[in-house]
């Protein structure tokens, strides 16, 4: 089980003054502003909310695992009720696709009592009903896990910006624990599944996925899932190299706070 105290120690140590300056959110309202980010899209979830997802292959979308469960019942959302709206902006998408298959990480438990433990495996892959092969929507590559102090950025939709994505070009990795990345990035409800980018060789590559937002001593932080190991497992499962996990999700009451770190509910879509 994830060590709550260890993560809290990271958060409290980094809540001190002197953090690097973060950039504000930039709304991607126009075609020019959105160019290069069209592979990030809104995931509409069975008529009951949305998350953010990212195309990482012509027929695969990366998002957070908890997005694929009904928060009220704990039931898995049916793939056929999910729509990926690539580059959704002002009522139009660059591409519309249904979802044929979903795969959550085998160690992810939606009803886990330790919410920090959930973050470490909060990852999912979606197989679209048809690939997206448009020059304007190039899938993003993923890269190795980020390290403390690394500059990163995030593109996300959220409850007050559901009709166009926003880019925060500069935020930072405050710290890491096995499977978890603590970030200074500005996220909100609907940002779940949003890609955290690092510039590697002049190219934006995904290094984490937004799982939750939290507060420590009044400071808002984002919690992300490390990609390297869990994404490898998910890809192998979707390729048929590993058997899919048998998931029987339930839902127990979850505390809104753990020690000194407050999870701002819902941490889902």
Q: Has residue 176 been placed in a domain?
A: yes
Q: Is the residue at 214 inside a domain?
A: yes
Q: What is the pTM of this model?
A: 0.86
- Is 249 inside any structural domain? no
Say if 248 falls within a structural domain. no
Identify the pLDDT of residue 183.
95
Query: Comparing C-alpha atoms, which of 221, 211, 215 is closest to residue 51?
Result: 211
Is residue 49 one of the residues assigned to a domain? yes
Residues of the chain falling short of pLDDT 50: 1-6, 15-18, 246-269
> Is residue 269 assigned to a domain?
no
**pLDDT confidence of residue 67:** 95
pLDDT of residue 10: 52
pLDDT tens-digit series, residues 42-95: 999 987 799 999 999 999 999 999 999 998 888 999 999 999 999 999 999 999
- Whichever domain contains 18, its CATH number is 2.40.10.120
If one counts every other C-beta atom within 10 angstroms of the C-beta of residue 149, the result is: 11
Q: What's the structural domain count of the chain?
A: 1
Residue 203 lies in a domain: yes
Q: Residue 220 has what pLDDT?
A: 87
Between CA 194 and CA 172 the distance in angstroms is: 15
Could you list the residue range(s) of the whole structural domain that residue 21 is in?
Answer: 4-243+255-263
Q: Is residue 180 part of a domain?
A: yes
H or E element that contains 198: strand 195-200
């Amino acid at each position: 089980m994830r060590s709550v105290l260890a993560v809290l120690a990271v958060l409290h140590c980094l809540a001190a003054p002197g953090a690097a300056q973060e950039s504000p959110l930039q709304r991607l309202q126009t075609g020019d502003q959105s160019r290069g980010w069209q592979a990030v899209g809104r995931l509409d979830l069975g008529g009951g909310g949305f998350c953010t997802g990212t195309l990482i292959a012509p027929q695969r979308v990366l998002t957070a695992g908890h997005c694929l469960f009904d928060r009220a019942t704990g039931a898995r959302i049916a793939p056929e009720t999910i729509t990926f709206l690539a580059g959704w902006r002002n009522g139009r998408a660059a591409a519309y696709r249904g979802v044929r298959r979903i795969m959550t990480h085998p160690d992810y438990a939606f009803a886990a009592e330790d919410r920090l433990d959930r973050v470490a495996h909060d990852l999912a892959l979606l197989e679209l009903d048809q690939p997206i092969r448009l020059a304007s929507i190039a899938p993003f590559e993923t890269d190795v896990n980020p390290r403390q102090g690394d500059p990163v950025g995030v593109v996300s939709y959220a409850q007050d910006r559901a009709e166009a994505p926003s880019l925060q070009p500069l935020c930072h990795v405050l710290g890491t624990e096995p499977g978890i990345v603590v970030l200074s990035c500005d996220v909100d409800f609907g940002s779940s599944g949003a890609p955290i980018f690092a510039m590697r060789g002049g190219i934006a590559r995904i290094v984490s996925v937004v799982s939750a937002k939290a507060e420590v001593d009044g400071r808002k932080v984002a919690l992300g899932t490390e990609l390297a190991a869990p994404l490898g497992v998910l890809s192998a499962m979707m390729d048929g190299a590993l058997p899919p996990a048998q998931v029987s999700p339930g839902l127990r009451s979850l505390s809104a706070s753990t020690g000194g770190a407050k999870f701002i509910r819902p941490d889902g879509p």
